[in-house]
Structure 1
C-alpha cells in the first residue's frame, strides 16, 4: 500500500536581492529577457591585479566577473539596529533580515503582525557566512604577522628601536579597516546566527537554524522547512538562502578544483565549462496549503514533493547521476505524481 501523500506546502510570500534584481518580479523579467548580470569584480571585493594566476600562481584565480550586488545598503534605522552591531556583523546577516522583512510583508505579515510567533521558524541556507567575516578575522591574525615581519626585519639587521617603530605603525595600518572586537563580534561572524537574528527581531519561538549543503543550501533549507511544517513542528516558515562570499578563499579554491569557467558558461552542455560566481538572498514564506486557504492567502505555488539524497562514495566535489536521480525520484514519490505530469523544469546547472 502506498504511503499517504504529504500535505501540500503553500508559498505565500517571496522576496529577494540579486544582481540587477531586487524583487522576484524583476528576477523573472531578467530570465524572460535572457539578460545576464555579470560584471567585472569590483576592486574592493577582490583586487584582480593581486590575484591573477599569472601573478599569484597557485594562490590566484582566473575569476574576473561575478553577479555582484551593487548599490545595496542596509537601513539599520528601519530595523533599529545599533551602528556598532552592524559593523561587527557580517553583511549577510543584514541582507537576510531585510529580505525576510520583505517576504513577510509580501504575504501580509508586515512587521510580523498576525504571525503565530510561537510556531513560526526560520531555516537559512548559507555556506561560510560571508567574506566580511573572513576579512574581519585578519585583525586577530596580527600577532602572526608581527612575528613574521619582526623576524625578517631582525634578519636584515634593522636596529631594535626602528623595528618597534615600524611595527607600531604597521599594526595601526593593518587593523584600521576592521572593527574592534566587542560583544557582537562572535555572533556577527556565525552562520547559525543569521536565522537566529531574524527570530530575535520578530520574536519568533519556532526555532531558527542554518543549513550548509554547498550549492544546494537554499533547496535544503526549503526541504527542511517543508518537513517541519508537515510534522507540525512549525505553522509558518521563513526559508531560503543568503550568500555574500566572493573572497580569495572561495575564488582561489574554486579555481583549483576546476569549477570556475575560463570562458562563457555552458550550462547543461556536454562540454560544460564550470560557473561564474554570484551573490544575493532569496527567501520564501511557507505554510501548509490548508492553513493558507483558511486565512484567505493566495499562494504563488504549491510544493507537493521534496527530497534529499547524496552520492555515497561517488565524487566528493562532482555530482553523480545516481545521486541526482535518487533525489528526483524521491521527490516525485512524495508528491504522488509522475514526471510525465510536469510542464516546466527549472534546474540548477554548473
Structure 2
C-alpha cells in the first residue's frame, strides 16, 4: 500500500494527475487500509479450573496437568439440597466455586446479586479485569464507542439459574428477570461502564465466543466501535450423569484430541475476555500487545448428511479465507508465507467423527499452499487440558494461542498416545505436538485458531506476533518513584498488596513499567502510597505493610513525597500522566472483596389480613433484601429499579386493594414517605 501511495505522489510531481485527484485516491487507499487493518489484543483476563488468572492459565498449560475432577460437593449440595439422595454428577473440568462476587464494587445491591445468574456475575468480574489488564481505567471508557461481544449458549446448559429460581420460588423469579436474561450479560457491562458501542450476546453454540471475536473485528473495521471487549462464559449448575447424552461425551471426562483413543469430549467450565483495538490506535497509545489478529472469517457447513455433521470443504474455506485476509499484512505477502505458520490451535473435540474431518481440513489447506510440505506445523487443543468449554471454548483457544505467539512456546496437546487410524498424519504438513517446545527461531510467529459448532457455524482466526519497542529502563538510585495503590475496601487493598508482592518476587517487571501501570489505573477511596527506587525496595516496603497492617503511617512517613501525600489525601490528580515515558507492565488485577451469593427461598407476603403497614414493610424488605437498611433509604438507591418498582406497586395495589401507580414511588421513594400515603388508604 505504501508503494502505491508513493507512485501517486510521483505522478503528482510529474503533473500526470491533479492534486485534487491524488487527495481522493490517497483518502480511498487509507479507507481500504483501515478496513483491512490488523486488530491488537491489548488486554486479557480469565478464570478456569486450576487457574484464576492469565498467568496461572499459562502455568497450567506449561505443566500440562488435566483438570478433570468430580463435581465439587459444596456446589452440588447448594443446588441439589432438597433431594433425598444426591444425584450422580458427570466428571469434568469444574471451577471450585461460582457463587463468589463483590457487588459493592460494581454498585450492585446484595439482593440483586443473589438473583443474578452466576454467569452474569462471573463475566462482569472478568470484564473489569480485562479492561484493567489493557490499562483502560473506567474514566477513560465512559461514554466512548466501546463494543461488548459475548459468546454464550444458554440452550446447552443442564440447568440455568433462572430455571432453578422458578422451580424453588416462582414468585421470586419476577424480581430476577434482568439478572437471568442472556442479553443482559453484555447489556449490564455496557450500562455499568457507560459504553456506547454495540452490545451483543452471540449464540452459535460451540463457536460462539470465537465468532464474537470475528464480529467485533468486523465492527471496528466498519467504524461501529473504536475498541471492544469480547469474551465467553460457560458454567454447569447441575451436570447430572443421568442428563440425557447427545452421544459425543467422554465417559471419563478426558478429551483425547486427534488420538486413536479418542472416545468423546469432556465437559468443562470457564470464563474469559479480551480487549481489542485497531493496531494503529494501539501503537499510537503505547499499549502493550499480546498478539495481533491479522485475519478472521466465519461461514456455515450448509447441507451435510445430517444437521450436526461437519463439512470438510466449509472448514477448508473458512481457514483459507482468514489467512487470505492475513496475507494483506506485508510480513505474509511472500508466496511461501505458510512456512511462517508454526502452530494451529484446533477445535479438537476428541470425537471419532469430528477429529478426522478437522485434521483433514487443515491438511488440505496446507496442501493447497505446498503439496510436498510435511510435519511442519504443530497442532493441538486446549480441550485436552480443560475439556470442551462450549461457548467459552473459542475464546479460551484464542487466549492460549495469543500467549504462545507472545511468549514463544508451543504448548502440548495431551493424551496423544496412539494414532487415530482415520487420520493421515504421514502425508500432512501438520504434526500433533505432545510436549512443550520452543517456537522455532526465525522471523515473527504466526498461529491459527479454529472453533466449529454442531449447528454448522465455523470460525477461524489468524494471529501474529507483534514486536514491541524496546522499553525505557528505570535508572536505579538516580531518582525515586511513587508506588500508588488503591482499592474500594481495606480488605481488598490488603489482598492486593499481598498479591502484588508475590507477583514482584516471581516476575520482577521493569520498575518504570510497574509505576506507570499502577498510576494509570482507576483510583479508589482506600489508598496507600510510598516512594521507592526499585522493585527490590518495593517488595521490602510491601512486606512491612503486611506486617504492620493496618497501621501504615510509619511507612508513609518514612517513604513519602509530595505526590504520595496528595494521593493519600484523596486529591484527584492526573495520576495517569506520571511515568508516561515508560512502557506498561502486565501486573495483577483488582482483588475483589467477594462473598457467596445465592437466592433464598423467602416468600413474598400475600396475606391481605395483615396490617397495611406490615404488608408494605414486608414487601419492601423482601424486594430489596439485605439492601434494606432503614425506612429512610431511597428505594432506587438500595437496589430497586424500574422493573422492581413496577412489581412492588402492582403487588401492593393487589394486596391492599388500592390503586397506586408507579409515579407514587417516584414521589415517595423512602418507606417513611410511602407509609404516610399508605396509612390513610
- Aligned partner of residue 60 in structure 2, secondary structure: helix
Q: Is the contact between residue 129 and residue 244 of structure 1 (CA under 8 Å) also seen in structure 2?
A: no
Distance 1:17 1:215, change over 3 A: same
In the alignment, structure 2 segments of 5+ residues that lack a partner are 1-31, 350-681
Alignment correspondent of 1:240:
231
2:219 to 217, 228, 244: 228
Aligned-pair CA distance for 1:340: 3.0
The structural deviation recorded for 1:136 is 3.6
User: Which residues of structure 1 form unaligned runs of 5+?
Assistant: 53-62, 142-173
| Range with bigger deviation, 242-251 or 272-281 | 242-251
Q: 1:18 to 1:251 in 2, by over 3 A?
A: farther
Q: Does 1:181 align with 2:173?
A: yes
Report the equivalent of 1:294.
284
- Which residue is equivalent to 1:99? 126
1:1-350 to 2 correspondences below 5 Å: 6-43=36-73, 44-45=75-76, 64-72=90-98, 73-110=100-137, 112-115=138-141, 117-128=143-154, 134-138=160-164, 140=166, 174-175=168-169, 180-183=172-175, 185-248=176-239, 252-253=243-244, 256-263=245-252, 264-314=254-304, 315-336=306-327, 337=332, 338-350=337-349
Structure 1 residues 74 and 133: CA distance shift in structure 2, 3 A: farther
Structure 1 residues 273, 67: closer, same or farther in 2, change over 3 A? same
Displacement of 1:319: 2.5
Instruction: Using CA pairs under 8 Å that are at least 6 residues apart, name the structure with larger relative contact order, 1 or 2.
Output: 1
Q: How many residues align?
A: 300
CA contact (8 A) 2:159 2:237 kept: no
Q: Deviations over 1:142-161 (max 9, x none)?
A: xxxxxxxxxxxxxxxxxxxx
| Alpha-carbon distance between aligned partners in 2 of 1:224 and 1:139, rounded to the nearest angstrom | 33
CA contact (8 A) 1:136 1:179 kept: no
**Length-normalised TM-score, structure 1:** 0.78
Instruction: Check 1:103–1:348 CA distance in 2 against 1; reply closer, same or farther (3 A cut).
Output: same
Equivalent in the alignment of 2:29? none
Mapped partners of 1:101, 1:125: distance in 2: 17
Deviation at 1:333, TM superposition (A): 1.0
Larger Rg: 2
User: Residues 38 and 65 of structure 1 are in contact (CA less than 8 Å); yes or no, is this contact kept in structure 2?
Assistant: yes
Would the aligned equivalents of 2:150 and 2:212 in 1 still touch at CA under 8 Å? yes
Q: Write the distance in 2 (CA, Å) between the matches of 1:205 and 1:348.
A: 33
Contact 1:121–1:237 under 8 Å retained in 2: yes
Normalised by the size of structure 2, how large is the TM-score?
Answer: 0.41
Shift of 1:181: 2.5
Instruction: Describe the SS at the equivalent of 2:300.
Output: coil
Q: Secondary structure at the match of 1:124?
A: strand
Computed over aligned residues only, the root mean square deviation of the Cα atoms, in angstroms, reads 2.7
Q: Paired residue for 2:671?
A: none
Alpha-carbon spacing, 1:348–1:246, altered in 2? closer, same or farther (3 Å): farther
Tell whether the 8 Å contact from 2:71 to 2:90 is kept in structure 1 after alignment.
Answer: yes
Give the 3 Å change call, closer, same or farther, for CA 133–51 of structure 1 in structure 2: closer
Distance 2:148 2:234 in 1: 16
Aligned-pair distance for 1:272? Answer: 2.6
The 3 A distance-change label for structure 1 pair 16 and 227 is: same
The alpha-carbon deviation at position 138 of structure 1 amounts to 4.7
Q: Can you list the C-alpha shifts for 1:44-80, whole angstroms capped at 9, x where unaligned?
A: 448797655xxxxxxxxxx631111114511112112
Asked if the contact 1:206/1:234 (under 8 Å) is kept, the reply is yes
1: CA distance, partners of 2:258 / 2:111: 45
* Contact 2:156-2:205 within 8 A present in 1 as well: no
User: 1: CA distance between counterparts of 2:266 and 2:338?
Assistant: 30
CA distance in 2, matches of 1:260, 1:92: 23
Separation in 1, partners of 2:222, 2:61: 35
Change (3 A) 1:51 1:302: same
